Amino acid sequence: GLQPSEFAPLFQLPEEELAARGIRRVRAGGPGYPCRITLEDAAAGEALLLLNYTSHDVETPYRSSYAIYVREGASQAATYVDEPAPVMQNRPLGLRGFDVAGMLKDARLALPGQAAQKIRELFDRYRKAEPNPASPNPGLTEPRRIKVAWLEATGSEPYYK
């Protein structure tokens, strides 16, 4: 999930200041209010902020931002490894794969229950490719490492005199 420290100060702002920033204070009316910090649906009646968040901050046409919910009092960012968060498993998801320059290279639609499978498809397609800015395709392997050394002589060193 996202870091709570990024949003905590917003909950202290008065309504007028939130509105000036395009932020709305809302209460969950039931399921369907997924918090992007805890990666859980807020409980009915729980206080949240609804705000615009830039999720793909690049200088390309694919720069992306959209409305998200964050729960008041969310203090710990959720972490999921090798599995999608449960809140993402029962929703349709648009999955996008970008290259190192931030350009869209692949996408998948995951219907409810398909998130893990579709993420794995994207990963498997590019997992053996090395990242290369000159390539039109993304790469997910660790780039090769090389050692560089050089010797420099100007001719003014004592050896040459």
> Please, which contacts does 16-24 make with residues 24 or more away whose CB atoms are closer than 8 Å?
18/49, 21/51, 22/51, 22/52, 23/49, 23/50, 23/51, 24/49, 24/50, 24/51
Tens digit of each residue's pLDDT (9 = 90 or more) over 83-116: 899 899 889 999 998 887 888 889 999 999 999 9
Is the sign of the CA dihedral 5, 6, 11, 13 positive or negative? positive
pLDDT at 158 (0 to 100): 78
pLDDT at 101 (0 to 100): 83
- pLDDT of residue 143 exceeding 70: no
Contact criterion met (CB below 8 Å) for 117 and 110:
yes
